[in-house]
Structures are given as structure tokens and as C-alpha cells.
Amino acid sequence: MKEKKRIGILTSGGDCPGLNAAIRGVTRAAYEMFDAEIIGIHDGYRGLIEGDYSVMTREQFSGILTLGGTILGTARTPFRNMLKVGEDNVDKVAAMKKTYKDLRLDCLVTLGGNGTHKTANLLSKEGLNVIGLPKTIDNDIYGTDFTFGFHTAVDIATEVIDRIHTTAASHGRTMVVEIMGNKAGWLTLYAGVAGGADVILLPEIPYEIERVARVIEKRAENSKGFTIVAVAEGAMNTEEAKMRKKEREQKRAAEHYSASADVARKLSDMVGVEARAVVPGHIQRGGSPSAYDRVLSTQFGAHAAELIRKGIYGVTVALKGNTITHNALKDIAGVPKPVPLDDQMVTTARMMGISLGD
């Protein structure tokens, strides 16, 4: 007789392609391996705090492999607020532990990014059985080569750059495309290389606008009448890089500019070209997951179910090389994963003659 396990599942933070595929991976593998009862927790940690959940049936996980978003709903519940008792006088950690115990859960599976993993680690330290699945289009979770959602976002951002190429060439413009990624430039780097950008600006490499302007001038000298600049939303010039984060954000808010708008405006002034900023925004995180992300999400979910079967908790699933494995939550929660300056993709970009603005 199969052992019965009650599994709580939640999705937290920003949505991204592959969440439903990962949920399906966990549940279908669990149903196959043991007697599983799935509790869907609504809107991330908010649902765990407030006891907002539903007992789910096997049929509810059918037909969701290709579905974007999350059937459980999601919300951002910043980790910095988890240990604070706000105006509602709710002890959030105590409330989450109570919901977990009231539901008689054997484990909790959390799908999310860095903040989600920090809270998952907190709950693990509090004695709950927790397993994480690394989700983010930013690919900035430490200890895994890739997160699910990243490759789909790369595909979408690359298509944006592809389409911008045609209008840039037709009008002889410099087009500055702002790609998501506030702290890490993985998405901009991969999409920029895949889309044939002439300049890629990342948060990890402060840029000098004069060097970007020189790229445009050199292309004009070589009869190239347009330029594509891929800019991460968190990219900063060398002067901004000297500021504290809060100071930098206040300056941008006061002067009403984004990374792409600032680059476009300065290039227009310096080179005399027609430069336009394009911000695809949340388009990059929406829609159906790519084939790669469907497979990765399924592998991650199945591995999580296997960990549940074995009683291995306090971990998060990871991809290392071609192997699906796991890391201790305490070893990866809150650890940043910026693009290394010597990363192979950075080297490839430079070898292709792409300017990184430095």
C-alpha cells in the first residue's frame, strides 16, 4: 500500500512561463509514486498566512503543461516584511506555521525566485518540511545553471529585438531596447547575443556613454545606418555606479527616466542620431512556456516529488550540467548570482565585436 502524503504547493513572486508545468510535474509524479493529496495555496505566502487554500483534484492538473501564469495565483510578499508585525498585528511566521499544521501537511513546495527562497529557508529553520523550485526569468538564483522561465523570456526578448531590427534598418534609427533584469543581466546578455545587438549594457558592467556613442559612429563610417542597443533595466553608467542604490533610484524617479530612455536621449544629443527607447516590459514574462522550459519545469517537478518520497527536505531543486539535483536552502537563499565578468557568454559577446559599454 502506498504511503499517503499531504503536499502544499504555492507560487510566489512574479509570474513566469513554466509555473503550471512545474506544478504539473510535482503532482503527476507524486500521484504515480505515492498516495498524494494536494493542497493548493492561493496567492503565494499570503495564502499561507491567511489560510487561503483549496483541496485539489487530479483533474485540475490536466491540460496545464502549456498554460502560462499560475493556476494557484501569485503575489509578492517581500522577505523583509516577514519578520515584522505590521498594522494588522499578524505574526506572519507564526501564522504560516499554524496554517501548515492545521492542514496537517507533510511538506510544502514553494515555486519562486530569490525572495521566495529566503522565506522558504526561514520556514525550514522553523521546522517545516520545505522544498523549493527555482523560478525566475532573471536566472539569478544561486546554485542552478538555469531557472525555469528564463529560456522562454530569452525567446520573447530575442523576438522583440528581431522585430526592432527591421524598423531600425528601415528608418536608419538607433533603437534602445530595455530588457527586464534589475540586479542581474542574464536575460539581456542572452537575448542581446541571440538578437544580434550591437551593444549590450548590463547591471554588472557600468558603461561609459561615450563608448556606446563611438559604436554608432563606427557603424556609420562602415555604412551601417542603424544600431541596436540592448539595455538591462538595471544597467547603470559609471557615475550612477558610484551611488548607493536608493540614491540612484531617487535620482531616476526625480528626473523621470529609465535606463533605456537615458541612453537614447544621451545618444541623440551626442551623435545626432534619431534614437528611440523601446520597453517591452511584462510581455517578456507572459504566455506559454517554450519547449525547453516545459521540459525543465517537468524535470524539476518530478525531482521534487522524488525528494518528497524519500523524505528529503530543506532543499531546492537545481540544474547542474545535464543533471537535475538539489541544494540546501540554507546554502543558496539570499546568495546573489550576477553575471561574472569572465562568463563564457560575456567572452563570446566580446569576441563577436559586441560592445558592453566599458
pLDDT at 248: 84
Residues 6+ apart with CB under 8 A from 75: 12, 43, 44, 45, 46
pLDDT at 112: 96
Distance separating alpha carbons of residues 95 and 78, to the nearest angstrom: 16
Q: Number of structural domains, the chain? A: 2
How does pLDDT run across 149-176, given as a tens digit for each residue? 999 999 999 999 999 999 998 898 999 9
Tell me, yes or no, whether 39 and 163 share the same domain.
no
Distance separating alpha carbons of residues 134 and 118, to the nearest angstrom: 12
On whether residue 346 sits in a domain, the answer given is no
Tell me, yes or no, whether 19 and 142 share the same domain.
yes
On whether residue 337 sits in a domain, the answer given is no
Q: Which domain covers residue 262, as residue numbers?
A: 153-285
Q: What CATH number corresponds to the domain at position 271? A: 3.40.50.460
pLDDT at 1: 53
Measure CA 52 to chain center.
25
Q: Does residue 138 carry a catalytic annotation?
A: yes
For the chain, residues with pLDDT lower than 70 are: 1-2
How does pLDDT run across 261-279, given as a tens digit for each residue? 999 999 999 998 889 999 9
On whether residue 12 sits in a domain, the answer given is yes
Residues 6+ apart with CB under 8 A from 354: 192, 193, 197, 198, 199, 200
Q: Which residue in 138, 140, 198, 262 is the catalytic one? A: 138
pLDDT at 2: 63
What DSSP element (H or E) covers 236? none
SS3 call for 144: coil
How does pLDDT run across 54-90, given as a tens digit for each residue? 999 999 999 999 999 999 999 988 888 888 888 888 8
What predicted TM-score, i.e. pTM, was given to this entire model? Answer: 0.94
Tell me, yes or no, whether 186 and 264 share the same domain.
yes
pLDDT at 93: 95
pLDDT at 80: 87
